[in-house]
Amino acid sequence: MAMMELMKAVYPVEAADYTSAGSASADIKRRLKKLGITGDVLRRVAVASYEVELNLVIHSLGGELDLVVYPEYVQLVSSDRGPGIPDLSLAMREGWSTANDEARSLGFGAGMGLPNMKRNADEFDIQSTVGVGTNITMRFRLA
Amino acid sequence: MTIQDMVRVLNAHVLLGEDKLSTPVYTACCSDLMSDVLAFVDEKTVLITGLTNPHVVRTSEMLDLKCLVFVRGKVPNEEILESAAEQDLVVITTKATAFTACGLLYQEGLRGVPVPLEWDSED
């Protein structure tokens, strides 16, 4: 039997939309708070979600964030339409970044995004194919 | 100290949150790099920054920060202040540079957010 979904939401994220970057994460945080999720878990989901949303804006050709809340955990999946990451182990390294000047001028692109997502999530999985896209699945335990 | 003490020490102007100046503060961080703030800060602290774009407020929102201190007399635009107001953030601005602002607050007993200071053995 499929596990019961307490809440589900999909957020399309546009490439290079620096102005509204973070609005999906802000909404995710508000919704989780309404469900009674607080404290450390809420903060970790918020930070990881903001990082992954920024990555979609800065690096992808566009994509979406899918949020599903189960009784046992929060699941956040990011999927994009490319360009894909050629070297995942390099991308996961702290300090490595291919962000452009616009992202850097906003205070991002320090190469902390992916490692920070991994640190904040209880489960982290990344799959990427050049020319196809990147999928990141993060889970945060509630119990 | 309280945010009110920070205002006094920094000779700052309060832009938002006049009613919350009695909030106690124990730690602060200073950065223009929101990536670093997101990666290293894990408590409800104070952010001292020279950056005035909407992502400073977004970052504060994600981390539940208490207070934003803009240095070098910077004042963010109305839109940014409105979104800070929605989150009940206290926002102050000081003429001091980031270095001086940190020094003055440190002298009064405020400390940095705890981050690992030891080098990893492989470094």
Q: Which of B35, B56, B62 is facing A110, going by the closest CB pair?
A: B35
Give every residue of chain B whose pLDDT is below 70, as ranges. Answer: 120-123
For chain A, domains (ranges, CATH) are 7-141 (3.30.565.10)
Round to whole Å and give the CA distance between B32 and B43.
18
Q: Which of A50, A107, A111 is facing B62, going by the closest CB pair?
A: A50
Predicted local distance difference test score (pLDDT) of residue B11:
98
Contacts of B59 in chain A (CB under 8 A): 50, 107
Count structural domains, chain B.
1
Average pLDDT, chain B: 94
User: How many Cβ contacts (< 8 angstroms) between chains A and B?
Assistant: 64
Round to whole Å and give the CA distance between B33 and A105.
9
Q: Identify the domain containing residue B46 by its residue range.
A: 3-112
Average pLDDT, chain A: 94
Average pLDDT over residues A134-139: 98
Whether residues B38 and A19 touch (CB distance < 8 A) is answered with no
Interface with B, mutate which of A47, A51, A53, A100 (most B CBs under 10 A)? A47
Interface with A, mutate which of B29, B30, B38, B80 (most A CBs under 10 A)? B38
> Is B118 inside a domain boundary?
no
Residues facing A75 on adjacent strands: A68, A139
- The nearest CA of chain B is from the CA of A125 a distance in Å of 19
Q: Which of B36, B56, B59 is facing A112, going by the closest CB pair?
A: B36
Q: Residue B62's closest chain A neighbor by CA?
A: A46
Bigger pLDDT: A3 vs B103? B103
CATH for B45: 3.40.1390.20
Average pLDDT over residues A53-70: 97
Bigger pLDDT: A2 vs A4? A4
Q: By the 8 A CB rule, do A25 and A49 touch? A: yes
Round to whole Å and give the CA distance between B89 and A35.
23
Predicted local distance difference test score (pLDDT) of residue B116:
72
> Is B59 inside a domain boundary?
yes
Predicted local distance difference test score (pLDDT) of residue B122:
63
Whether residues A108 and B56 touch (CB distance < 8 A) is answered with no
What are the pLDDT digits (tens) for A75-104? 999 999 999 999 999 999 998 999 999 999
Whether residues B32 and A107 touch (CB distance < 8 A) is answered with yes
Q: Which of B34, B37, B62 is facing A25, going by the closest CB pair?
A: B62
Whether residues A107 and B35 touch (CB distance < 8 A) is answered with yes
Handedness of CA A47, A49, A53, A59 (dihedral sign): positive
Whether residues B39 and A29 touch (CB distance < 8 A) is answered with no
Predicted local distance difference test score (pLDDT) of residue A23:
95
Average pLDDT over residues A114-140: 97
Give the 3-state DSSP-derived string for B54-73, with helices as H, strands as E and coil as C: HHHHHHHHHHCCCEEEECCC
> Is B85 inside a domain boundary?
yes
> Is B90 inside a domain boundary?
yes
Round to whole Å and give the CA distance between B32 and A108.
9
Whether residues A46 and B32 touch (CB distance < 8 A) is answered with no
